[in-house]
Amino acid sequence: MTAVLNAIMNIIEIPMRFAQRRLGLRRIAWVFLLPNLILFGIFAFLPVILNVIYALTGTDQVMLNDRTFVGFDNFITLATCTNHLDPNTCTQDLFWRAIYNSLWFVTLQVGFMVGLSLVTAIVLNGKIRARGFFRSVFFFPVLLSPVVVALIWKWILQREGLLNAGMDAFGLTPYNWLLDRNWAFIWSIFLSVWAHMGFYTLILLAGLQAIPRDVYDAALMDAATPFRTFRRITLPLLMPTMIVVLLLALIKGVQTFDEVYAFTGGGPGSATTFIIQYIYETGFAGTPRLFGLAAAASILLAIVLIGLTLIQLSVTRNKADG
Amino acid sequence: MDKRNLKWTGAALASVIALWAGSAAADDIRFMCAADGNECATLEALFARYEKDNPGTHVVIDVVGYKAILENLPVQLAGGTGPDMALVTDFGGLAKYFLDLTPYVDANYWNTNFGNTLRWSRTGPDDKGIYGMNIQLTITGAYINKTLFEQAGVAVPGEKATWDEWAEASRQVAKATGVPFPMAMDRSGHRIAGPAISNGAKIFDDAGNPILVDAPFADFMGKFVNWNKDGTMAKDVWAGIGGTSYQDAAQEFINAQLVFYYSGSWQVQRLDKAIGDSFDWEVVGSPCGPAACSGMPGGSGLVGFKQTKNPEAVAKLINYIAQKDNYAEFIGKTRNVPAHEGVAKEGVAYTDASQNVAKALKGWNAQIAKLSPIAYSYQGYKNSRTMYNITVQRVTQAIVGEMSIDEAMEKAKQDVEAAIQSAGK
């Protein structure tokens, strides 16, 4: 084995020695950086440029030389509505439905996610029996693949699923949860919160454990009630961590796709179609493949995500500065 | 560098050179295949026989999901990285990439035997090329659970029965037997096109421009939406999923929870295998409307792509499968309806087919004559898949109450216009 490695090193050594002799020590550093720069350029920078080019060009052709320049037409098509509050009046009604669905989803999902994570973190930070076990239980869904999460809940909620079987056993009328637009939306939020809550709980738990014990001891000496202690000590000291959690959950919420797509396929109708699914279906699953429209929608999404990321960076920096 | 290291270095260099040379010399034909039944495996066996007789040819089969054929293959072909040949269903959409086999095959033989379906893979009326063949002809239509009809004491509607008569009979059977679903139709724009055409939908205007929505089309879609709402149709199939995703109801039929299942001839093998002796089922084809009793034709086509580096080898391989004996063997083993007219005329020996399968295939063969010319034109139209997807999207939205059927049809019209503008007529 060592001999094989030596042989490989010997082969690599020849061009390296030659390059170092020709370029000198300062320039050889760039040679070492080059593979990473090339990979970053190809897989991160180039797609961004291509995305912008696609957004400014039309037709269903994938090759750039077959596409025609249309300027901001794709953005205008996305934005054209008689009444923006009624998606049916929009040229791309499915885009607006996806926008509204995403807005509702993010608002409700992030609210529940942060609230429940906070409660769970506080409970898990207390002196409860089998604390380690419960910490693992809440974190376990985070380890599951989104498709597995979706399939588990689909089996529970489908017409002949576990929930309906249970309801039937208790004499209740079974209900087709995933055929009802409102219920499908509510269950999508539930599934998403269930799958990711453990991650945010863990961050908040770390934040809670970082609060100095002596502050609580002082509150105890002042006979502060538990609620007052929470409101005056825990919450303010946990706030920086809370904001980071809130922003991370917001970014993740806007990006929601895989688990809900595997869960409901965006249905019934377009009740659980979110913005990423719209982009995917417009660009790849539908016919004709409207790459330009999909690229334009993804640029709009990127602007929202960049905004949220900048806020998050600023908050994190402020927190680090003290 | 000591002697031992030198030996290893030499061996490593030799291996790298050998690998590089080997990959450069490879002359494989890559074939992308997706199928419901045993089509890929049967083709593999036929290819193996061809390889034995033609040692220079080696076929590499990539068996993929049907979704990959629909979504990935067009992007690969557009990017010039597609396979050499594939089993496709979207003839119109992919026609521009097809390899013309004319220089390598007996055009007369092909035109005589595949005349009806060759035009599906042509780019227009002036195109006389030969681009591949339908490895089977599929026809959409219905299956019924005959045992349920007998148990309910309801007479099976006759050959000329209308959709309304079938709906009424299916409702009666479901009610009498306690079965949850009277009817179901696969979630597909292709499946629902046949009933719409039977209802009088023209799909194209007099000048041949695609219109999709006209009064008979909207009328049938309205009926279908109402059937989903009142429980005549299994709502789970169309409303249970979003976007334009395909979903069938075969499992409900297999589980004897469904009286009338509108799908197609390709399900025969699956139903036979899964149902066995559990209950009696039979093919009843397409119910009638005022204009016809038509389903939709279709099927997978074995085609080569012009970006292949081995056009002659690809053409010869496809031509080998197209030969009467090989084609008949393929159809017999896969239990399909032949698109090869010579084979159809002589009849197919369905290898080890059960009585049920033989009867079902006979039933499907009888449906061919009922297919409307509009159905053939629609299936062969290059943007047909776009129009199928629009139908699924908009009709589903009407079923779940996101818009009225009138709004859905208006949106469908606008979608067709926009799509044709993007993709060209």
> What are A5-43's pLDDT values in tens digits?
888 888 888 888 888 888 888 888 888 899 999 999 999
Same domain, A180 and A317: yes
Number of domains in chain A: 2
Among B300, B289, B268, B402, residue whose Cα is nearest residue B91: B300
Q: How far is A50 from chain B (nearest CA, A)?
A: 14
In a domain, A265, yes or no: yes
Q: Are residues A239 and A297 in the same domain?
A: yes
Domain boundary pick from A47, A62, A81: A47
Average pLDDT, chain B: 90
Interatomic CA distance for residues A107 and A28, integer angstroms: 51
Residue B413, in any domain of the structure: yes
Same domain assignment for residues A128 and A270: yes
Distance separating alpha carbons of residues A113 and B258, to the nearest angstrom: 41
CA B371/CA B259 separation, integer angstroms: 24
> Do residues B264 and B205 share a domain?
yes
Indicate whether B124 and B70 sit together in one domain. Answer: yes
Flag if A268 and B385 touch (Cβ within 8 Å): no
Which residue on chain B is closest to A2 by alpha carbon? B5
Q: Which of the residue ranges A254-258, B203-207, B244-248, B344-348 would you say has the lowest mean pLDDT? A: B344-348
Q: Are the CB atoms for A183 and B243 separated by under 8 Å?
A: no
Q: Residues of B at the A interface (Cβ-Cβ below 8 Å)?
A: 1, 4-5, 8-9, 11-13, 71, 74-75, 78-79, 90, 93, 235-236, 239-245, 383, 385-386, 389, 393, 396-397, 399-403, 407, 411, 414, 418-419, 422-423
Domain that holds residue B313: 25-137+299-351
- Checking if the pLDDT of A275 tops 80, the result is yes
Is the per-residue pLDDT at B271 higher than 80? yes
* pLDDT at residue B10, rounded to an integer: 58
Residues A27 and A121 in one domain: no
Domain identity same for A29 and A170? no
Which residues in chain B have Cβ-Cβ distances shorter than 8 Å to A68? Answer: none
CA nearest B383: which of A160, A255, A286, A98? A286
What the block records as the tokens of A207 is: 């934040």
Pairwise CA distance, residues B217 & B204, whole Å:
11
Above 90 in pLDDT, residue A298? yes
The verdict on residue B167 lying in a domain is: yes
Which residues lie across from B137 on neighbouring strands?
A: B337
In a domain, A231, yes or no: yes
Within a domain: A236: yes
Q: What CATH number should be reported for the domain holding residue A267?
A: 1.10.3720.10
Q: Give a yes or no: residue A59 inside a domain.
A: no
Asked if A164 and A304 sit in the same domain, the reply is yes
Q: What is the DSSP letter of A186?
A: H
- When CB atoms are compared, the residue of B11, B78, B93 closest to A63 is B78
In tens, the pLDDT along A209-243 reads: 999 999 999 999 998 998 999 999 999 999 989 99
Same domain flag for B273 and B167: yes
CB A304 within 8 A of CB A254: yes
Would residue A275 count as lying in a domain? yes
In a domain? residue B16: no
Same domain, B171 and B197: yes
Q: Are residues B339 and B251 in the same domain?
A: no
ipTM over cut 0.90: no
Q: Are residues B144 and B246 in the same domain?
A: yes
Within this chain, do residues B188 and B336 fall inside the same structural domain, yes or no?
A: no
Cβ-based contacts of A266 with chain B (< 8 Å): 241-243
Residue of B nearest to A4 (CA): B8
Rounded to an integer, the average pLDDT of A103-110 is: 96
Q: Which of B13, B400, B407 sits opposite A269 (nearest CB)?
A: B400
Considering the domain architecture, whether residues A185 and A312 belong to the same structural domain is answered as: yes
The residue range of the domain holding A244 is 93-321
pLDDT at A318 over 50: yes
- What pLDDT, on the 0 to 100 scale, is given for residue B285? 95
Do A100 and A165 lie in a common domain? Answer: yes
d(C-alpha B336, C-alpha B353), whole Å:
11
Shared domain check, B156 and B127: no
Whether B3 is in a domain gets the answer no
Q: In terms of domains, do B133 and B249 share one?
A: no
**Section A182-194 average pLDDT:** 96
Domain match, A243 and A301 both:
yes
Point out which residues pair with B264 in neighbouring strands. B140
Name the residue among B55, B51, B61 with its Cα closest to residue B87.
Answer: B61
Nearest to A152 by CA among A123, A111, A190, A104: A190
Q: How far apart are CA B180 and CA A147, in angstroms?
A: 29
Residue A57: inside a domain, yes or no? no
For residues B44-63, give the mean pLDDT: 94
Instruction: Please report the pLDDT score of residue B169 as a whole number.
Output: 98
User: B70: domain CATH number?
Assistant: 3.40.190.10
What pLDDT score does B21 carry?
45
Residue A66 lies in a domain: no
Non-local CB neighbours of A294 within 8 Å, separated by 6+ positions: A54, A279, A280, A282, A283, A284
Of all residues in chain B, the one with the smallest CA distance to A58 is B422
The reply to whether A204 and A259 lie within a common domain is yes
* B111-138 per-position pLDDT tens digit: 999 987 898 888 877 888 999 999 989 9
* Same domain for B152 and B280: yes
Same domain, B284 and B413: yes
Calculate how close chain A gets to B331, using CA atoms only, in Å.
31
Residue B59 pairs in a beta bridge with B29
Mean pLDDT of chain A: 91
Domain count, chain B: 2
Taking residues A154-173, report their average pLDDT. 94
B422 secondary structure, DSSP code: H
Mean pLDDT, residues B208-215: 94
Lowest mean pLDDT among A140-144, B210-214, B262-266, B364-368: B364-368
Whether B57 and B174 map to the same domain: the answer is no
Contacts of A80 in chain B (CB under 8 A): none
